[in-house]
Chains A and B, each alone.
Chain A
Amino acid sequence: MSNELEFLSRRVASGKLSRRDFLGRAAALGIAAPFANSLLSSAARAAGPVKGGTLKAGLVGGESTNSLDPALMMTQVPFAFGKCWGEMIVELSPEGKLENRIAEEIGSSKDAKVWTLKIRDGVEFHNGKTVTADDVAATLERHSDEKSKSGALGYMKGIETIKASGKEVVLTLKEANADLPYLLSDYHLIVQPNGGKDKPDAGIGAGPYKVVTNEPGVRHGGERFANYWQGDKMGHADQIEVIVINDATARTAALQGGQVNMINRVEPKIVDLIKRVPGVTIRNHAGPGHYVFIMHCNTAPFDNNDLRMALKLAIDREEMLTKVLRGYGSLGNDFPINASYPLFTEIEQRKYDPDKAKFHYKKSGHDGTVLLRTSDVAFPGAVDASQLFQQSAAKAGIKIELKREPGDGYWNEVWNKQPFCASYWGGRSTQDQMYSTAYLSTADWNDTRFMRPDFDKMVLAARAELDETKRKQMYHDMAVLVRDEGGLILPMFNQFIDATGAKVDGWVDDPHQELMNGYALAKCWLQA
């Protein structure tokens, strides 16, 4: 890299040279614009965040039925706004490591059954009170209450007792779990004064922004909290605002018109058009979310592994990836884990093989059609994907009959009820969470009816294993079992596709969720 360019980029970062001039100079030096742009943003990052201004996000995934109660958060808007006003006990860093927040230290007993959280000093709630061990314990208690409607209830049930003493919170688990710190990074577990038991939707947390406006389904706004404990890392803009824009075209227009600085969920089919708009940067990165077709392993005809295998081989993953996701994703391999999880191991990629599919289909003895239910709400492009599946399977002599179900009620009436349908999983932060949520015999959401005592044992053993190498091998074996004998057809993992407008800096790709795992508003800044 030329020294002159580096020098110039630093001058831009310090405000002595305009961006336009810089790009002009770069072009004169024979540097392509994208590269020059990336150079510029790394220089801006190095120069450090700029304080001030109002950062606005236009997001899909907010309804007028939303509430500030963290237990009830489900869609993208409450999730992203929650990361602005709430502070977590522990969080996942963009690199996938644990990042201690309110818990300064997390330690466990040797058998991974008793966990101790040491609470950090000097963290303050927006109401001026200091965050104590009691608040943390109360938060965990509220989310593990059987009566609570918390989205985190499933994991919290594994905690037997929660005790606060002095600066520490001690958790005793029913069964050993080496992943507990990861579970505590669940986005519902925002620490609230007295755990939010008094007023769950008060919107008082210890995050970088205080809630100023809360109009569910319309907009949410916050102003910087002066006493935030790590103000150097987060909370750069003076104000932040989330505007709910559920219509994809309106969202893009708002970004182009400059009314918002960032948007989520850019549709794959328009990414190439948006890319060309001056000032707009597409932020796409891999995540754990996956598009699936699920078969109930205990319901005829899907109770026959040869039929399941035939269908797995009869799907053309590459074609689907190009046509449905336009390449903004990666190939799936019929187990729900990809490289965005810790302890992932590569397994040979399953390919479209009509001949082998034909062989297994014949062996299964099934005759007639297979009914696949699908709907637009299963995942974006699910109906198209189902049609592609139908065609590729036809080439293997398997007749798939499609039934398009209404989107309204799809998750109640079809998913987890009908034996073969299209669906979507957002993924979890650890392999254990993913497998425990949907592949244990006893799981409520075991949507492939994968009832295998041997597999259940493997899940529990891996959960309690603290040795990483052994654990990695265990997860590999579990993946192979699901891939070869389960009811999951996983053609592709989708990417998160966000976009930012001109002047937004400080973006770091985060594989856990869209919008930098929800932190885009809190961690980005506006160039001066």
Chain B
Amino acid sequence: MSSPILRLIAQRIALGILLLLAISVLIFAGTQILPGDVAQAILGQSATPESLANLREQLGLNEPAYLRYFHWLGGVLTGDLGTAMSSGQDIATSIKGRLWNTLFLAFWAAIVAVPLAIILGLIAVRYRNGWVDKLISGLALASTSFPEFFIGYLLVYFFAVKWQIFPAISTVYDGMPFGERMQAIALPATALTLVVLAHMMRMTRAAILNVMQSAYVETAELKGLSAFAVIRKHAFPNAIAPIINVVMLNLAYLIVGVVVVEVIFVYPGMGQYLVDHVTKRDVPVVQAVGLIFAAVYISLNIIADIAAIVANPRLRHPK
């Protein structure tokens, strides 16, 4: 690999880090403008001026904002996310378990969804405009167009309540046997798969169809290659960049955008954790989770960029 490409990659990563810093400022500023303060939110209806003042002092809410930002940033860089204001627990420890759960679910949903979407896309291209293509596109689009809570409830109704094949709630915990864990996540993983399938499938189809118009594909067809061989050897490698982009976007969604599915299936992931703490105005947790989500999003996008660069012969072998 030549040095320009390494430089390009290094550039991307540096940009990513800068972006992350900028986001950290935004997150911090955003959490400061939320109405009400954490002391008020913790005490809720039971707040008296007296207990409010006590709690505010105890939580250090009386320092100026920029000081708190640098304290926080310093902590994050040294791996210390602070303690949750509302429960007093160490944030890094509680996030670890939640993040692992989220990644676990996203991983299995992706393992099913990505190959399935690409294969369906390829099949759709092979039989383009025929009934197979229309059926695949129709079903995938339908499953994406339904709101995810609807798909979730349908799955629960049939698989958990009617036929009782899978549990209705997906509470997982440490030390749960792998088999049980897989059974628990079967329904949420299915729901997520259905939600992200169409986007990737349609993109695969469109990207490959685009390449199929080019002269070299025609040549390959004239050489007498079978339709699948043409797609596999000539069309797919050249269509891979946009497909990777879409796959990464969807992977990011599987990690940061699954709050609704988590709530429906009672899955202890990051989304539910974030929502709980937003309503409690637990600023340190909200900041930490926001930053992690931003980091996930940015790194997946960097990976997509890099993969696109590496996959592109023109960038790989610049003149």
Pair from one complex:
yes
Which residues of A does B touch, CB under 8 Å? 58, 63-67, 74, 146-147, 149, 151, 153-154, 201, 213, 215-219, 243-247, 249-250, 253-254, 256-260, 408-409, 411-413, 415, 444-445
Q: Within the complex, what minimum Cβ distance (angstroms) separates A154 from chain B?
A: 8
23 of the cross-chain contacts (CB-CB < 8 Å) are: A63-B276, A63-B280, A64-B276, A74-B44, A74-B46, A146-B50, A149-B43, A149-B54, A154-B48, A215-B268, A216-B87, A243-B266, A244-B266, A245-B169, A247-B266, A249-B153, A250-B156, A254-B266, A256-B168, A411-B44, A412-B36, A413-B35, A445-B45
**Size bin of chain B's contact surface:** 35 or more
6 shortest interchain CB distances as A-B pairs = A65-B86, A253-B168, A218-B268, A257-B168, A63-B276, A444-B48
Do A64 and B44 have beta carbons less than 8 Å apart? no
A257 contact set on B, CB distance < 8 A:
156, 160-161, 164, 167-168
- Chain B positions within 8 Å of A66 at CB level: 87
* Complex Cα–Cα for A510 and B64 (A): 50
The answer to whether the Cβ of B84 comes within 8 Å of any Cβ in the partner chain is yes
| B282 interfacial contact with A, CB 8 Å | yes
- Measured between alpha carbons, how far is A257 from B167 in the docked complex, in Å? 7
Q: Whole-angstrom distance between the alpha carbons of A243 and B114 in the complex? A: 32
A303 to B168, CA, bound (A): 52
A408→B41 CA distance, assembly (Å)? 9
Contact with A along B37-57 (1 / 0, CB 8 A): 000111111111111001100
Q: Is there a chain A Cβ closer than 8 Å to B206's Cβ?
A: no
Q: Which of the residues A58, A149, A216 comes within 8 Å of B169, measured between beta carbons?
A: A58
Chain B residues proximal to chain A, CB less than 8 Å: 35-36, 40-51, 54-55, 84, 86-89, 94, 97-98, 153, 156-157, 160-161, 164, 167-169, 171, 173, 263-266, 268, 272-273, 276-277, 279-280, 282
Which of B88, B94, B266, B279 makes the CB contact (< 8 A) with A250? B266
- Contact (Cβ within 8 A) B156 A253: yes
A149, A213, A415 — most chain B CB neighbours (10 Å): A149
User: With A65-B277, A250-B265, A413-B35 as given contacts, are A259 and B87 in contact (CB-CB < 8 Å)?
Assistant: no
- Whether A64 contacts B167 by the Cβ 8 Å rule is no
The answer to whether A151 and B161 have CB atoms under 8 Å apart is: no
Chain A contacts for B88, CB-based, 8 A: 67, 201
A323 to chain B, nearest CB (A): 25
Q: Which residues of B contact A151 (CB under 8 A)?
A: 46
Chain B, Cβ-Cβ closest to A67: B87
Cβ A217 vs Cβ B273 within 8 A? yes
Q: Is the interface of A mostly helix, strand, loop or mixed?
A: loop
Q: Contact at A64–B94, with CB atoms within 8 Å?
A: yes
Q: A65-B282, A256-B161 are in contact. List 10 more A-B contacts (CB 8 A).
A: A65-B87, A146-B50, A149-B43, A243-B169, A243-B171, A244-B266, A250-B264, A253-B161, A412-B40, A412-B41
A258–B164 contact, CB under 8 A?
yes
B273–A64 contact, CB under 8 A? yes
Central interface residue in B40, B94, B98, B168, by most chain A CB within 10 Å: B168
Q: Quick one: closest B residue to A69, CB to CB? A: B88
Contact between B45 and A65, CB atoms less than 8 A apart: no
Residue of B nearest to A260 (CB): B169
Q: Which residues of the partner chain B approach A245 to less than 8 Å between Cβ atoms?
A: 169, 266
| With known contacts A249-B153, A250-B264, A64–B87 Cβ distance under 8 A | yes
In the bound assembly, the distance between CA atoms of A63 and B87 in angstroms comes to 10
How many whole Å from B160's CB to the nearest CB in chain A? 4
Task: Give every chain B residue within 8 A of A259 (Cβ-Cβ).
Answer: 167-169
Contact status of A409 and B36, CB under 8 A, knowing A65-B84, A74-B44: yes
Q: Which residue of A lies closest to B84 (CB)?
A: A65
From known contacts A64-B272, A244-B266, A411-B45, infer whether A253 and B160 are also in contact, taking CB-CB under 8 Å: yes
Q: Nearest-CB distance from B107 to chain A (Å)?
A: 20
Are the CB atoms of A65 and B173 closer together than 8 Å?
no
Residues of B within 8 A of A74 (CB): 44, 46
State in angstroms the CA–CA spacing of A259 and B266 once bound together.
12
**CB neighbours of B46 from chain A (8 A):** 74, 151
Complex formed: what's the CA distance from A19 to B129 in Å?
A: 59
Q: How far is B262's CA from A246's CA once the two chains are assembled, in angstroms?
A: 11
The interface residues of chain B lying within 8 Å CB-to-CB of A216 are 87, 89
Give Cα distance in the complex from A146 to B58, angstroms: 13
Taking a contact as CB atoms under 8 Å apart, the answer to whether B44 and A413 are in contact is: no
With A67-B87, A250-B168, A411-B44 given, is the CB distance from A213 to B173 under 8 Å? yes
Chain B neighbourhood of A146, CB < 8 A: 50, 54
User: Are B277 and A64 in touch, CB under 8 angstroms?
Assistant: yes
Q: Which residues of A contact B160 (CB under 8 A)?
A: 253, 256-257
Q: In whole angstroms, what is the CA distance A445 to B47 when docked?
A: 9
Measured between beta carbons, the chain B residues less than 8 angstroms from A444 are 48-50
User: In the complex, A243 Cα to B172 Cα: how many Å?
Assistant: 11
Cα distance A148–B157 when bound, in Å? 46
B199 to chain A, nearest CB (A): 26
Tell me the minimal C-beta distance from A386 to chain B in angstroms: 19
Q: Which residues of B contact A64 (CB under 8 A)?
A: 87, 94, 98, 272-273, 276-277
Distance from B175 Cβ to chain A, minimum over Cβ atoms (Å): 10
Q: In the complex, which residue of chain A has the Cβ closest to the Cβ of B273?
A: A64
Q: Please, which residues of chain A bring their CB within 8 A of the CB of B47?
A: 411-412
Q: How far is the CB of A50 from chain B (nearest CB, A)?
A: 24
Q: Beyond A201-B88, A213-B173, A250-B263, is A413–B36 a contact (Cβ under 8 Å)?
A: yes
A213 to B171, CA, bound (A): 13
* A443 nearest in chain B by CB position: B48
In the bound complex, how far is the Cα of B45 from the Cα of A264, in angstroms? 21
A180 to chain B, nearest CB (A): 21
B317 CB to closest chain A CB (Å) equals 51
Residues in chain A near residue B277, CB distance under 8 A: 64-65
Q: Which residue of B lies closest to A444 (CB)?
A: B48
B35 nearest CB neighbor, chain A only: A409
Bound Cα distance from A169 to B121, whole angstroms: 76
Q: B87: which A residues are within 8 A, CB to CB?
A: 64-67, 216
A154 to B156, CA, bound (A): 44
Kindly name the residue among A146, A219, A260, A413 whose own CB sees the greatest number of chain B CB atoms within 10 A: A219
Q: Which residues of B contact A243 (CB under 8 A)?
A: 169, 171, 266
How long is the Cα–Cα vector from A328 to B114 in the complex, in angstroms? Answer: 49
Contacts of A218 in B (CB 8 A): 171, 173, 268
Q: Which residues of A contact B50 (CB under 8 A)?
A: 146, 444
